[in-house]
């Protein structure tokens, strides 16, 4: 696979009418998450333009959403001949079923309905991982003293609606992404309090995975476990309410929930770094962490990332960084389609 090249991503306000006439056809790229689908168009210069985010709940599937997107861009479907989708699910066959979304679709049906010559479907964090080698220093914020190391394996994790995990490794012709389902591995406790939290969560779910607590769907579960352990009445709040109240410190249980969230996330990130040998760095994407950067920087995240006994020195040299570049997964999709076209 060819290296992914960093490209400028423009907003929808870019005047499409002023694009050179040579760019008649585009590649449609879409990052399909549990809540939102983000579309963009890739032109002949491999630049991602016209980025728009739509709510998945407003559509029956990606075909309807894509047609609505093209209509907003004032384009007809014939300007798109190929597409690349990133999906928040395992990609195993023709049928794609989103893990935290009501959508299920067949790739062959989407290709036919949109009149595409080629449709590439990747796991969403596979696409995000493909963007990592081309990230510039202003595309991420480092957490801790270690800096990303060029040319070495890297991994990305991302709490959003769910929790994504993927890696990328260098090879002879560029980089290869390794998608996985590491978010469904069992979450581990580092002390007695965390063990009590996990035991309380198992009162609701027999298997407490990393995603079960470290995600938008997981924060309410984590808060309820905190309430059980602390012996206070159960509180049912949305993930947005929990993160806001926790960050402000106005609710003690929400504050404890968010402190646990970042401690658990640090331990999980350290596990991924060890398992993958991600000496190039661990990057954090998703929709939750970039909005809580200050909380993460003051949390136990980095301490817990390194807290692996004899391998603390090994992890101390591995960078952790928050991805700040907008729509990085769309960049990864553009690079993946370009590489597929050249093979």
pLDDT in tens, 267-308: 999 999 999 999 999 999 998 999 999 999 999 999 999 999
For residues 332 and 129, is the Cβ–Cβ distance under 8 A?
yes
- CA angle 335-14-110, nearest 5°? 50
With 80 as the cut, is the pLDDT of residue 1 above it? no
For residues 104 and 111, is the Cβ–Cβ distance under 8 A?
no
Instruction: Provide the whole-model pTM.
Output: 0.86
Intra-chain end-to-end CA distance of the chain, in Å:
8
For residues 315 and 308, is the Cβ–Cβ distance under 8 A?
yes
Task: Give the rounded percent of residues in the chain with a pLDDT score beyond 90.
Answer: 76
With 80 as the cut, is the pLDDT of residue 16 above it? no
127-143 in b/e form (b: 16+ CB < 10 A) is: bbbbbbbbbeeebbbeb
Q: How far apart are CA 57 and CA 46, in angstroms?
A: 30
Which pLDDT score, from 0 to 100, does residue 24 have? 61
Which pLDDT score, from 0 to 100, does residue 343 have? 64
Which pLDDT score, from 0 to 100, does residue 181 have? 87
Lowest pLDDT segment from 72-81, 256-265, 314-323: 72-81
pLDDT digits over 153-191, tens only? 999 999 998 999 999 999 988 899 998 889 999 999 999
Name the residue ranges covered by the structural domains of the chain.
Answer: 9-130+326-342, 136-324
Q: How far apart are CA 175 and CA 37, in angstroms?
A: 26
pLDDT digits over 117-128, tens only? 999 999 999 999
Residue appearing with tokens 């998703």: 286
- Taking only Cα atoms into account, the Rg of the chain, rounded to an integer number of angstroms, comes to 20
Q: 9-130+326-342 has which fold?
A: Nucleotidyltransferase; domain 5 (3.30.420)
Query: Under 8 Å CB-to-CB from 240, ≥6 apart: which residues?
Result: none
Which pLDDT score, from 0 to 100, does residue 135 have? 94
Q: How far apart are CA 156 and CA 323, in angstroms?
A: 9
Q: 136-324 has which fold?
A: Hexokinase; domain 1 (3.40.367)
Q: How far apart are CA 86 and CA 237, in angstroms?
A: 30
Which pLDDT score, from 0 to 100, does residue 25 have? 82
Tokens standing for residue 212: 């079960």
pLDDT band, very low/low/confident/very high, at 208 (cuts 50, 70, 90): very high
Which pLDDT score, from 0 to 100, does residue 100 have? 77
For residues 316 and 112, is the Cβ–Cβ distance under 8 A?
no
- Report the 10 Å Cβ neighbour count for 72: 13
pLDDT digits over 25-34, tens only? 899 999 998 8
Q: Of 161, 254, 166, 247, whose CA–CA distance to 212 is shortest?
A: 161
pLDDT digits over 33-76, tens only? 888 999 999 988 888 999 999 999 999 999 999 999 999 999 88
Residue appearing with tokens 């692996």: 308
Phi-psi region of 144 (alpha: psi -120 to 50; beta: other; left: phi over 0): left
Which pLDDT score, from 0 to 100, does residue 99 have? 79
Which H/E stretch holds residue 248? Answer: helix 239-248
């Amino acid at each position: 696979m060819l290296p992914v090249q960093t490209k400028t991503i423009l907003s929808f306000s870019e005047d499409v009418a002023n694009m050179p006439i040579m760019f008649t056809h585009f590649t449609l790229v879409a990052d399909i998450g549990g809540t939102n689908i983000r579309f963009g168009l890739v032109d002949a210069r491999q630049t991602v333009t016209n980025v728009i985010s739509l709510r998945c709940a407003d559509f029956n599937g990606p075909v309807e959403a894509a047609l609505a997107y093209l209509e907003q861009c004032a384009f007809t479907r014939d300007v798109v001949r190929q597409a690349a989708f990133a999906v928040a699910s395992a990609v195993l066959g023709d049928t794609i079923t989103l893990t935290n979304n009501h959508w299920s679709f067949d790739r062959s049906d989407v290709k036919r309905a949109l009149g595409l010559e080629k449709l590439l479907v990747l796991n969403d964090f596979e696409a995000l991982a493909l963007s990592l080698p081309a990230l510039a220093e202003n595309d991420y914020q480092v957490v801790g003293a270690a800096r990303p190391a060029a040319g070495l394996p890297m991994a990305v994790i991302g709490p959003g609606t769910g929790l994504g995990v993927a890696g990328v490794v260098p090879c002879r012709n560029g980089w290869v992404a390794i998608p996985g389902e590491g978010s469904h591995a069992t979450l581990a406790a580092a002390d007695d309090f965390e063990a009590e939290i996990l035991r309380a969560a198992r009162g609701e779910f027999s298997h407490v995975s990393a995603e079960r607590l470290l995600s938008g769907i997981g924060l309410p579960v984590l808060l309820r476990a905190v309430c059980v352990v602390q012996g206070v009445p159960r509180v049912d709040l949305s993930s947005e309410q929990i993160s806001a109240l926790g960050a402000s410190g106005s609710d003690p249980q929400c504050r404890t929930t968010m402190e646990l969230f970042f401690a658990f996330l640090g331990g999980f990130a350290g596990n991924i770094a060890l398992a993958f040998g991600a000496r190039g760095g661990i990057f954090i994407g998703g929709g939750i962490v970039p909005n809580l950067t200050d909380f993460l920087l003051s949390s136990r995240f980095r301490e817990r990332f390194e807290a692996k006994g004899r391998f603390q020195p090994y992890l101390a040299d591995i960078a952790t960084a928050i991805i700040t570049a907008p729509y990085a997964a769309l960049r990864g999709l553009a690079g993946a389609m370009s590489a597929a076209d050249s093979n």
